[in-house]
A and B are shown apart, each in its own frame.
Chain A
Amino acid sequence: MATLARAPRERLEAAIASLAPTPQWERLRGPEAGMVMVRGRMGSVGGAFNLGEMTVARCAVRLDDGRVGHAYRAGRDLRAAELAAVLDACALGPGLPASLAAALAAMDAAEDAARDDRSRRAAATRVDFYGMVRMG
């Protein structure tokens, strides 16, 4: 579900297209966009405080065979939320379709690669204050 929540819409479209037969679904709720309050705790302890609100698109769908999928995604892309919910439902139960498994793995890999790339670019600009430490 986290993978589907972060994957770009094009990858979701491609994953749906790769499924055979193409899933048929009906909308139980949404897709709709709204605000959720993000809460936090200082250092994961102490009292909860409201960090701020963020925009979230959510959707719940039911496939023809009765499986129900849910999706919550940051932003207002309603189509992506609906696709993510459909894929979530398809991934339920025994027998994950091979094409879906491959698509999910590819989404995971792409996300990891993007994170690596970001950390590498950040690492390239790191400054180590050796001198300060030795002088201190």
Chain B
Amino acid sequence: MSSVDGLSPGFTAPVEDQQACFRAVLEATSRPGTIVTLAGPTRPPAPLGGAMAAVALTLVDADTPLWLDDAIMAGAAPSWLRFHCGCRLVADPSSAVFAFAADAAALPPLSRFFAGTDEYPDRGATIVVAVAALGEGHRLTLTGPGIAGTAMIATTGLQKGFAAMRAANHRLFPRGVDVILVAGNRLVSLPRSTTVSSPEG
């Protein structure tokens, strides 16, 4: 039983909380660059933040193989995710449907994740990346569907080559991976249709 000693509860009201979280993620993805705030579980295991844990409880289940980065694998989070989501953990990023990274600086290139097929581009992976802060720091310009003109987001802690990786991902369209950035309880979505450029280089 030692592997589950650090377990903490999931959502207090699973159905209502999952629906609220799903609606918030949908809103964020429909309007890329919009920061939404999620009500996560009360005590998610470190290093999962509130928003990352909420996304896991809402979207991850037995049918979605999950890849975790080394920072998450090290703690109590893998057994928490297995218990509450019933998901399979995979070591190979290319076989995962969801990928969670707590250390944005060590994120593998986006090209290592599954980008879907031409017949089924919807099967591309969704990558949830925790950044140090949303709303301050390095600015990124967003254009694309769901954005009137251009939108701007600021993040702290994302690696330097992120805009270039996104550009390579965008060229695969309609294939590609979707990215969700989280910080604490806040979340911003960058679906594959969004063009990300970095005015500051």
Contact = CB atoms under 8 A, between A and B. Distances in A.
Interface of A: 26-29, 32, 60, 62, 66-68, 92
Nearest to B3: A68
A32 B8 CA distance: 17
Contacts of A29: 9-10, 83-84
Contacts of A62: 7
B4 interface: yes
Contacts of A28: 7-10, 83
12 contacts: A26-B9, A27-B9, A28-B9, A29-B9, A29-B10, A29-B83, A66-B6, A68-B1, A68-B4, A68-B5, A68-B7, A92-B1
Given A28-B8, A66-B6, 10 more contacts: A26-B9, A28-B9, A28-B10, A28-B83, A29-B10, A60-B7, A67-B1, A67-B5, A68-B4, A68-B5
Main secondary structure of the interface of B (DSSP, over half): loop
Nearest to A62: B7
A73 to B, nearest CB: 19
Contacts of B14: 32
Interface residues of B, number: 11
Nearest to A69: B1
Interface in B1-57: 1, 4-10, 14
Interface string B63-98: 000000000000000000001100000000000000
B100 to A, nearest CB: 20
A1 to B, nearest CB: 12
A28 to B, nearest CB: 5
A92 B2 CA distance: 11
Which 5 A-B pairs have CB atoms at the shortest separation, nearest pair first?
A: A68-B4, A66-B5, A28-B9, A28-B7, A68-B7
Contacts of A67: 1, 5
Contacts of B6: 66
A1 B27 CA distance: 44
B48 to A, nearest CB: 16
Contacts of A92: 1
A57 to B, nearest CB: 15
Contacts of B84: 29
Nearest to B14: A32
A70 to B, nearest CB: 9
Contacts of B7: 28, 60, 62, 68
Contacts of B1: 67-68, 92
A112 B154 CA distance: 68
